[in-house]
Amino acid sequence: MKKEPAPAVSASHPWLIPLAWSAVFLTAYGFLLFHPDLHPACPENDTWNLPIRWSVLSSLRAGRLPLWNPLSAFGIPWLATWQTETFYPGTLLFTGFGLSAWNFSGVLHLMILSLGAYFFLRAEKLGPLASFFSASIALMNGCAYNHLGSNSSMDTMAWIPWIFLAALHCLEEKQWGKIQLAIFFALQVLAGYPQIIFYTLVGLAAYAAFRKNWKDPVKLLLPLAGGLLLSAAQWIPSVEYFFINSVRLPAVHNNPHFFLPVENLETFLNPTALSRNGLPDYVVNPTFFYFNFYSGIPPLLLLVLGMVRWRALRPISQFFLFGFLALLVWALGCPLRAFEFLRIPFPAFLEPAKCWVLADVFELIALGFILEDLFPKPAKAQWALTALSIANLLWFVGAHLLERNLTPPSPLLDAQAQNLKNHLGTGRILVLPDPREHQRLYTPLPDPAREPLFKRFIPNSNYYEFLPAATFYGSTQPSWGALDAGFYFQYVFPHDNGALMDLLGVDLLYLPEDHLPPHYQKVQTNGNWVLWKNPSSLGGRFFFYGLPQTGDRKKIFSAFADGTAKPLQNLFLDPSSPASLAPLAQGPPLDAEEVALPGGARNGILVVTQNALPGWRAWVDGRPAGLYLADGLFQAVFFAASDKKVRLAYEPASFRLGLFLSLLALGGFLAWAGNKKSGGLHS
């Protein structure tokens, strides 16, 4: 007599899968929800992710769009930094709850990733147990867990399975499929990691071509274009900045194309394989930590079994398994080495390591398919593999080292910041750790005593305390703006004999340096660190009276560094070439910054010591005026003796165009959806 197949889990016990998923989720991450000051040991949390979040949410709380950040490196445009997630809905979570929402945001996006994998597999006709198998691994595998503290990476990755699900609905011509794809893709773009978005589109095109035929990816172009229009207010200014006004620095200096070291493969077997001498892997090398491959031993064996029994797999299973392997080879830079050998140019933007996020999603999807292909009934084998995999990963999450740091506000950090504010004038602070201090501050060991670390102040963690700093942390810099430590040392700072720090408006210097030239005043010593005051700093703005000169940046900075030029006596500026033309609008916006002019009998030039990037506009007593590049870096506006005030506003044309397109697309989507719903009701 033929044995009847076991009933489907959803039919026999519909509550079992959601109950099991909830139990796994709470067991793995419940402690993060109840301890918001405990977060994964991501080295960039305190020097990049956390400060950005704080700065953006503070601006939003004040009712301002965070278009310009005046606190870092003489001012940088926020929308030029993809990872700010300015218009991403998840930012509202931080706006409402502050930085205590850090862990909630991370686990929320882990939930989105996990549920997306589950529903995509169910839409591909996979059984509930096999789908749950992939979803549970998505919650705890190394890639997802290690990106938990890196908001933009985690937020961008979370929407990948939902994009594939919406694409499947489009290809099957289901109702609302196109609108789903547009919305999910817009959310991924707003989440903001450009390389992950690029690799998602590559994988999506391959999936669409495989799922139907090679022409079918064309069917996805319209909803994807709709998603781009919805998110235009964020990405158009970013594209303008990245391709026109910025200098790209290598992600890793000795690995400019940023592919993964082969040693990463060791973490398939052991998540701490790259630790050295008791130091966790993120201290040894953050590159290892960000791309930990660990998915547990049982899933790894299942992948190997799938490769061995390739012919027993369905074509869709083969597609995702092959895609995972191909992306893994690409992430390790194997084809790139051939490009380098043949001297074929390779775009730095591609950064092969970033495709690992898509490889992780392909691995998760492949695991569900392989489980059902090789163990077709939801019987003991499927249950056993699922239980073993979950137990293995729960051990990994529980045992993997976490870094305890106080999330601001903190009384001790507040006191340190207030001390700096008390000595700060109208300019900015320069924080420059030497290589030894930088290593200690950037990659600290886990702190079980939960002591606050001063690394929050380097290089742009000043955002939380609203201390304007001359330093900048990031891989992309304004082409004539954000000077980093290398520039200062290039022009013989701090042992210079000139007035470069005066020109740059640096009031305070905080660095592990006990001896500086006599015109700096020592304020206090804190261990290896010394706080110095610069009494002759010109602060945030100054007025120049006289005839400007011309010169390139090297000539300008060398002249101020060696003392042959002085800021109030020499100004380098080309009056025939404005950095920004006079605006067409006859009046400034209401939130424009106002600068009072000194009055008197002389015409002059107002110099504002922040980057003169395109997008800044000026009005002198209500009259549109051109804005010029002063001293190779700053904003300059000509004024007459009778003028009373200058108003400045940053609102680039790329943002205005992007905002118009986003609002137009949103209106079109709402009208289309309303018309479609109304048509459905009438029918």
Classify residue 520: in a domain, yes or no: yes
Same domain, 333 and 481: no
Burial class (CB in 10 A: 0-12, 13-18, 19+), 95: middle
DSSP character at residue 311: G
Can you say how many angstroms the Cα of residue 170 is from the centroid of all Cα atoms in its chain?
30
Classify residue 658: in a domain, yes or no: no
Burial class (CB in 10 A: 0-12, 13-18, 19+), 647: buried
Same domain, 374 and 473: no
**C-alpha–C-alpha distance, residues 278 and 368, integer Å:** 36
pLDDT of res. 310: 96
Same domain, 509 and 549: no
Classify residue 413: in a domain, yes or no: no
Contact 437, 512 (CB under 8 A): yes
CA distances from 124 to 78, 139, 293 (A): 40, 20, 25
Same domain, 251 and 372: yes
Alpha-helical (H) ranges within 260-314 are 281-284, 286-290, 297-308
The structure tokens 């060398």 sit at 558
CA distances from 557 to 474, 572, 633 (A): 22, 10, 10
- The pTM for the full model equals 0.90
Question: Per DSSP, which regions of 41-123 are E strands?
Answer: 68-69, 76-77
Q: CA torsion sign, 616 to 621 to 626 to 628?
A: negative
Mean pLDDT by groups of 10 residues along the chain of 683 residues: 46 76 91 74 67 77 83 83 81 79 87 96 94 95 83 91 96 89 96 91 94 78 94 89 72 77 90 81 75 91 96 96 96 83 78 91 96 84 91 85 57 78 90 75 62 53 72 67 60 74 90 87 88 93 93 85 89 89 86 89 92 91 94 93 94 91 90 70 51
Same domain, 393 and 426: no
Same domain, 358 and 462: no
**C-alpha–C-alpha distance, residues 47 and 225, integer Å:** 35
pLDDT of res. 131: 95
How is residue 421 written in tokens?
Answer: 């504010």
Classify residue 301: in a domain, yes or no: yes
Instruction: Summarize pLDDT for 574-596 with one digit per residue, the tens.
Output: 888 888 899 988 888 888 899 99
Contact 605, 550 (CB under 8 A): no
Quick check: helix, strand or coil at residue 655?
Answer: helix
CB atoms within 10 A of CB 543: 16
**Phi then psi for 630, rounded to 5 degrees?**
-105, 135
Classify residue 50: in a domain, yes or no: yes
**C-alpha–C-alpha distance, residues 287 and 150, integer Å:** 13
Same domain, 515 and 621: no
For residue 581, the enclosing domain spans: 541-553+562-651
Can you say how many angstroms the Cα of residue 231 is from the centroid of all Cα atoms in its chain?
16
CB atoms within 10 A of CB 23: 12
Instruction: Summarize pLDDT for 180-230 with one digit per residue, the tens.
Output: 999 999 999 999 888 899 999 999 999 999 987 767 778 899 999 999 999
pLDDT of res. 5: 46
Quick check: helix, strand or coil at residue 468?
Answer: coil
Same domain, 357 and 444: no
Classify residue 677: in a domain, yes or no: no
The tally of domains found in the chain comes to 3
Same domain, 93 and 232: yes
pLDDT of res. 677: 67
Classify residue 74: in a domain, yes or no: no
Classify residue 15: in a domain, yes or no: no
Same domain, 474 and 391: no
Same domain, 518 and 647: no
How is residue 332 written in tokens?
Answer: 């390790």
Same domain, 500 and 453: yes
CA distances from 439 to 283, 285, 431, 502 (A): 9, 11, 14, 29
**C-alpha–C-alpha distance, residues 84 and 239, integer Å:** 14
